[in-house]
């Protein structure tokens, strides 16, 4: 099976930086996604890491260490609109014919609260 852990809740200040960690245990690792989800809305794609290292995209960066089963999402210059849940999700290589990747297994999400 798969096990994905991330903190339940974090609080940060507007304009600051916050790092949301995610640890996972899985076989056949195929990639790690981060999604943002505002209350009552669908998850929206933030990043996808397959190889070790840091991927930067504007104010958001995501890091992956496959050997440690560890990822983090870094949010800079925090804005009030960044208050949301952040979901870490792991993809495995498909066990089915044709290869490809399986559906995602999600962590429970980290509820991020931004304070003025």
Partner 1 sequence: DARVTQTPRHKVTEMGQEVTMRCQPILGHNTVFWYRQTMMQGLELLAYFRNRAPLDDSGMPKDRFSAEMPDATLATLKIQPSEPRDSAVYFCASGLVRGGGWVEQFFGPGTRLTVL
Smallest distance, Å, CB 67 to partner 1? 19
Which of 15, 17, 21, 53 is CA-nearest to residue 34? Answer: 21
> Minimum distance from CB of 108 to partner 1 (Å)?
5
Binding residues for partner 1 restricted to 10-29, rule: CB under 8 A? none
Is 44 one of the binding residues for partner 1 (CB under 8 A)? yes
DSSP 27: S
Give the integer Cα–Cα distance in Å for 18 and 114: 10
Select from 14, 100, 113, 115 the one that contacts partner 1 (CB under 8 A).
100
Which of 10, 23, 105, 111 binds partner 1 (CB under 8 A)? It is 105
Residue given tokens 């009030």 in the structure block? 80
Structure token pair of residue 39: 């209350």
- The per-residue DSSP string of 69-104 comes to TEEEEEE-S--GGG-EEEEEEEEEB--STT--BPPP
Is residue 33 a contact point for partner 1 (CB under 8 A)? yes
Q: Is 77 in the site for partner 1 (CB under 8 A)?
A: no
Tell me which residues touch partner 1 (CB under 8 A).
30-31, 33, 35, 41-45, 48, 50, 87, 89, 91, 93-94, 96, 98-109
């Amino acid at each position: 099976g798969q096990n994905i852990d991330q903190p339940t809740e974090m609080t940060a200040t507007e304009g600051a930086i916050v790092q949301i960690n995610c640890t996972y245990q899985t076989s056949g690792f195929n990639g790690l996604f981060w999604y943002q989800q505002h209350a009552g809305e669908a998850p929206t794609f933030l990043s996808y890491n397959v190889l070790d290292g840091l991927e930067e995209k504007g104010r958001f960066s995501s890091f992956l260490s496959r050997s440690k089963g560890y990822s983090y999402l870094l949010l800079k210059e925090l804005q009030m609109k960044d208050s949301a849940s952040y979901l870490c999700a792991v993809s495995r290589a498909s066990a089915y014919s044709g290869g490809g990747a399986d559906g995602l297994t999600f962590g429970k999400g980290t509820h991020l609260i931004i304070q003025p």
